[in-house]
């Protein structure tokens, strides 16, 4: 699984990148065929400073996209990974039924 992390309007710290890679490793237990993952981090420059994490995951035949917003990047990434893991479980169940 190839992971690409892009930070828009700021430079992501190494600790954040390591956290994201660790969270994405969880997805490999749901599907071994993950080709690559792209994570785009950005924030809205409003008074609340909403952090946005967009994860684009490519598996053979499909591209799954998840966007989450919260007050911290870690929370946004964790929520997006949880939703993607549920989607990957559904894909795995459909394949096993065939």
Q: Domain of 15?
A: 2-97
Kindly compute the dihedral angle of the four CA atoms of residues 45, 72, 87, 63, in this order, to the nearest 10 degrees.
40
Cα 64 from Cα 11, distance rounded (Å): 25
CATH code of residue 83: 3.30.160.100
Cα 54 from Cα 67, distance rounded (Å): 4
Alpha-carbon distances of 62 from 2, 17, 54, rounded to whole Å: 16, 25, 16
> Which residue do the tokens 């795995």 mark?
92
Domain total of the chain = 1
pTM here is 0.89
> Which residue do the tokens 């599907």 mark?
31
Instruction: Tell me the pLDDT of the chain (98 aa) as tens digits.
Output: 899 999 998 899 999 999 999 999 988 888 888 899 999 999 887 667 899 999 999 998 899 999 999 999 999 999 999 999 999 998 888 878 76
């Amino acid at each position: 699984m190839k992971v690409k992390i892009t930070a828009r309007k700021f430079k992501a710290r190494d600790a954040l990148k390591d956290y994201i890679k660790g969270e994405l490793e969880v997805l490999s237990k749901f599907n071994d065929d993950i080709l690559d993952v792209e994570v785009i981090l950005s924030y809205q420059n409003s008074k609340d400073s909403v952090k946005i994490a967009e994860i684009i995951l490519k598996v053979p035949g499909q591209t799954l996209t998840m966007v989450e917003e919260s007050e911290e990047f870690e929370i946004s990434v964790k929520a997006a990974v949880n939703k993607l893991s549920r989607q990957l479980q559904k894909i795995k169940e459909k394949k096993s039924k065939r």
